Amino acid sequence: MCDSKIILSIISLITTNFLFASNNQVKTGDGNRIHLASAKLINSENDICWKPVQCNLPLPASAVLLERAGLIERLKGYFKSNADITTVALVGVVGMGGVGKTTLARLWAAKRIAESPTLTVWEFNAETEATLLQSLKEFSTRLAQTPDQKAILQSIEDIKDSTDREAKRLVFVQDVLRASEGWVLVYDNVERLGDIFKYLPQASTVWGKGQVILTTRNAQLKNVGEQILTLEDLTPDEELTLYSRIRHQKEPQQLTSKETEDAQLVLKKLPPFPLDISIAAKYIGNYKLSPAEYLAALDKQDASFLEVQQELLKDGGEYNKTRYEIITLSIKKIIESDTENLQKLLMLSMMDSQDVPKEMLSNTSEGIKVSGKADKFIREMMKHSLVTMGTASGDIGTISMHRSTWEIMYAYLVSTLKLSQSHPVVRNVIRSMADYVYSAIDEAKRSVLLLLESHGKRISTSELLTTDEQMKVTGMLGCIYFYTSKGKDAQELLEKSIKYIELNISRDQQRLARLYLHLGLTYRLNCKYSLAEEYLSKAIKAYTYSNNTPGRIEALCLLAHMYVVKGDFLKTKEQLEKVKALDSKDTSTKDIILRVTSLVERELGNMSIALESINQSIVQREVAKKCDQIQAWNLVYKSLVYKDMGDYASAAEWAKKGDMLHAEYDATSKMYAGLIMHRGSINRLLGNYDISEKEIKIALAICEKEAEESPMEVGRGKIFLAKVYRNTGHLDKAFTEAKAAERLYIDLFGEKNLRTSWIRMTIGQIYNDQGKYCEARDVFQECLDVHRTMLSDAHPKIGKILSELGYAQVKLGDIKQGHANLELGLKNYEAHYGKDHLRTAYVLRLISDSLQLQGDLKGAEAAALRAYTICQKANHPDQILSLERLGDVRLKSGNTQGSDDLKKALNMAEITFGADSPHVTRIKAKL
């Protein structure tokens, strides 16, 4: 059972994003614009070396590759022009597939790579706008190599309007290509130019310099912008060369007279195109047939063609009839070799023809995964020249079929074998695909799910599916959309699927449990907590009903985490106790239990348990050799624990490790956003206020753009920004941001909630800084009451509240009670952070003020000096405020050293904050 879903839930606590403005720029919160091609995150240390982006270019083996006379030279002639962008369309003479267009395009691209290894080369499936957009999505993912590029790109995925999202993606691709060292783009199988025209490179000022090749069956293609190269029939010599290389592994001149005569007899019957000759030659060679035997076998296929000719007899005429006979003859042999192959053939034909993951073909008809089963089938298909290796990038092994082969195979299987909605093999295909999809989900294979999106869309509209099966596939596609950052589409499909299954096939509790879980997570990410709770609870019940203990544990952990987000730790602990009571021996759930345990214990202030739990989770994945995205989040989460422990150096170290590991994997925008926000938080605590402010503004800008669906993220971003403004002395700006965050959190969580109270703590601090002590006292008294419902008095947040409350009370004249609370706060901080920590120094400054008011100047000086010593040793900007306090108390004591202290503090403030800083203005007024 997978624990990857928890990641999408955890990230909301530290989420951020990037904002795309119009055209080619990113707009930050302060109005600054950064060009996408050169956009950088604040920390450039995570930049990585550029790697050439080149898709796979499957070509026939060199021994059988036919380089047709003059075609490469003609392409060279076209591309020798001085134009910055040159476009050539490759068109078949009779308007049908299999004439060698794609092979020629790939061969040209491969030759260009050999000449220029750093060249960017990509092949798009341009059959329709939808397939092109899917290819463009994969291309953009490969182009985004640095963490900042990935964050920018992934923020595009969060754009809900599909037109806007794809326009921004295109801009991103254009920017990266323009900054590259040249490119070759192949738009394969264009049917209607109008569908894809806006995605074709036109101006080098937008795209940079490069070459475009279109392949199309549309002989009437116009307005390409440049040249059209028509691929004629193979010449007799070319036909013989290709046939002899495949059938006899010889050149034509090496054939015997009988071999030449036999070859010419067969070739007279075949269409003069590479696809047909290749498949026929393979078949004859595989089964050692004579020309007469092969031609007789083709004639037997005539009858089956009559049943499907209306669908297939298009522009190719008689050529298509012969091609049908050639291809279906091979398909029959493949089915005869293993009856299990029927299911695999149907699966291939029901999905898109390009880039089918090989692993999908591993299951038997009984749904059992058998090692080597897929490889055996693929070898059989390649033996008949029916498939090639796919163009998908990375380590996802895929296969592709020529579209003409794919169309014929589907028509043959459906019509000749009388396949229908009631046929068992159709149900097996649906089951196998669902098993594979959910396995990819469980193993957090987001790159595979991105690939499966187009296949899921196609199979969901198949005429072979019953209504029940359509609704099951709809739910499965909704789960895929959840992981490919299409939350709105995911919600719509999941709701539709669940509604139907509940009414018509409610017995399928296992499937319902999965759908409930994903719909609950979808609601959770959109901050719809009541609906999230409802559907996660339904998932728990459905898993319980179907006796799926690992699934039940996962759902319980996710529900527990949702309660953490809401600040309801009592319900969180209740869910974890249920997990412990199950006492599952399934180790697959151990990782998620450890992670959620760490999360909860961290919130409760039990840092040693939190650290131990996350360490165990990290070790567990190391032992399992899972150096993946989940492990990257483990490292970042360990950083969060260190941050709350007050060990900022270790927090920064582990955040960097998580950052580096994340750069190796695909991730959603919120994942990268979470990393950036966390880094900004650490930078603030380290005193790097300028860096922190810039990071938070970038984050907040995108959140505000989608505020309706990201209210928690907006509120969190605003309170982080308020904290930075307060640290730099800009109290009015800090108050504005904090109050805006408070309004959002009240709407989300209510007035008397721990999360809302966390926001109000910053508001109370600002009141204290502004001298509004009555308001500060009231805020912190309320915060104390709320926090004590969930947290013990040993929690550092209680220490913080008592310190701030005590300070306000002292200023209002309640010195005894106020100072007692300050001492309690100091004791709390010393126990949690240590006596020499920056946070302890903060409370010491408040105590120094209290002692001054009480007339204990010696004690006040000692407290201020101790605070200054701590901050000076850490080389933190807070040493300025501590030195200012020390100067104040010394002057009040008649010690002239106080004047020197203030002058030194002023000089440091001007260097650190700038001459126009409120801190500088305040200190100047004292001199």
The CATH 3.40.50.300 portion of the chain extends over 69-231
Residue 330 to residues 249, 405, 634: CA-CA distances in angstroms? 20, 11, 51
Question: d(Cα 721, Cα 781) in Å, to the nearest integer?
Answer: 24
pLDDT at 396: 76
What's phi and psi for 89, nearest 5 deg? -105, 130
Distance separating alpha carbons of residues 497 and 535, to the nearest angstrom: 14
pLDDT of residue 307 exceeding 80: no
**Average pLDDT taken over every residue of the chain:** 84
CB 10 within 8 A of CB 599: yes
CB atoms closer than 10 angstroms to residue 830: 17
Element (H, E) at 121: strand 120-125
Q: Cα separation of 33 and 18, whole Å?
A: 12
Buried-exposed string 751-781: b where 16+ CB fall within 10 A, e elsewhere: eebbbbbbbbbbbbbbbbeeebbebbbebbe
Boundaries of CATH 1.10.10 in the chain?
301-428
- Fold held by 301-428: Arc Repressor Mutant, subunit A (1.10.10)
Residue 309: pLDDT over 50: no
Residues paired with residue 228 on neighbouring β-strands, in sequence order:
89
Please, are residues 728 and 712 in contact by the beta-carbon 8 Å criterion?
no
Helix (H) or strand (E) holding 213: strand 210-216
Q: Are strands 25-27 and 33-35 parallel, antiparallel or unpaired?
A: antiparallel
Quickly name the fold that domain 69-231 has: Rossmann fold (3.40.50)
Rounded CA separation 511/816 (Å): 63
Query: Could you give phi then psi for residue 323, rounded to 5 degrees?
Result: -60, -40
Tokens 């005869």 belong to: 336
Q: Return the SS3 of 153.
A: helix
Closest CA to 78 of 209, 203, 228: 228
Query: Please, which contacts does 648-652 make with residues 24 or more away whose CB atoms are closer than 8 Å?
Result: 648/682, 648/685, 648/686, 651/682, 652/682, 652/686
Dump pLDDT digits (tens) for 313-323. 444 445 667 88
- 265 forms bridges with which residues in the sheet? none
Contacts of 80 (CB under 8 A, 6+ apart): none
Tokens at 5, concatenated: 């879903």
What would the pLDDT profile of 10-48 be if each residue is shown by its tens digit? 444 433 332 222 333 333 333 332 233 333 333 333 444
The model carries a pTM of: 0.76
Check: CB of residue 347 under 8 Å from CB of residue 361.
Answer: yes
CA atoms within 13 A on the CB side of 226: 23
The mean per-residue pLDDT over the stretch 110-125 comes to 92
Give yes or no for a contact between 158 and 670, defined as CB atoms under 8 angstroms apart: yes
At 260 the three-state DSSP class reads helix
pLDDT band at 662 (very low <50, low <70, confident <90, very high): low
pLDDT of residue 443: 76
User: What whole-number distance in Å separates Cα of residue 354 and Cα of residue 130?
Assistant: 13
- Weakest mean pLDDT among 2-11, 317-326, 672-681, 888-897: 2-11
- Please report the pLDDT score of residue 318 as a whole number: 53
- Rounded to whole angstroms, the Cα distance separating 210 from 85 reads 5
231 - beta bridge partners?
Answer: 92
The per-residue pLDDT for 48 is: 47
Query: DSSP letter string over 63-106?
Result: TT----TTHHHHHHHHHTSS-SEEEEEEEETTS-S-SSHHHHHH
Average pLDDT over residues 170-198: 89
Evaluate whether 745 touches 759 at the Cβ level (below 8 Å): yes
pLDDT, average across residues 267-287: 90
